[in-house]
Amino acid sequence: MLETFETVAKAIADPNRVRILKLLEGGELCVCQITTVLNLAAGTISKHLGVLKTAGLVQLRRDGKWAYYRLAEQAFNPYAPALLAVVRATLADDPTVTEDRRLLKLVNAVALPVLCHQGRAALGPDVQAAPQSNCCGTPS
């Protein structure tokens, strides 16, 4: 049982994974959306999502070439719901989380095919452009 707990604890020990969980509090997101907000490489985001999925913190839904993630609704790991509750109850006033939510509003206004193709450049000149990549991959 300790190993099962450790899997979840390690998953939320990374700040970028916590940022992903905080983004998903607002609902399901495509990998493209998460990649654009966090301004990280698609491969990095996919690895983070893979760790979160293995820990039972997120669930994956595929729709064609799109991969959508949401917070786990089923307790595949008995420790995941309690630690998700801690994440939900904290960091509401954190500047990074606040900025991520601001960027997510901009991201949600862009069509997914455009966002996936253009990344941060699709958000306009006021937002720093990120390297272009095909961000609709899923964790390997």
How do the domains of the chain map onto residue ranges? Answer: 2-123
Q: Is the pLDDT of residue 137 over 50?
A: no
Q: Is the pLDDT of residue 33 over 90?
A: yes
The span from the CA of 59 to the CA of 130, in Å, is 26
The span from the CA of 80 to the CA of 78, in Å, is 6
Please write the tens of the pLDDT for every residue from 59-118: 999 998 889 999 998 778 888 989 999 999 999 899 999 999 999 999 999 999 999 889
List of residues 6+ apart from 76 with CB closer than 8 A: 56
The span from the CA of 127 to the CA of 120, in Å, is 7
Higher pLDDT among residues 1 and 91, named by residue: 91
Q: Tokens for 140?
A: 């390997």
pLDDT at 12: 94
The span from the CA of 123 to the CA of 104, in Å, is 10
CB 67 within 8 A of CB 137: yes
Helices (H) and strands (E) in the chain, counts: 7, 3
What pTM does this model have? 0.87
- Which uninterrupted H or E stretch holds 2? helix 2-11
Confidence at 16, pLDDT banded by 50, 70, 90? very high
Q: Is the pLDDT of residue 30 over 90?
A: yes
Q: Which CATH class is domain 2-123?
A: mainly alpha
pLDDT at 128: 57
Calculate what percentage of the chain has a pLDDT beyond 70: 91
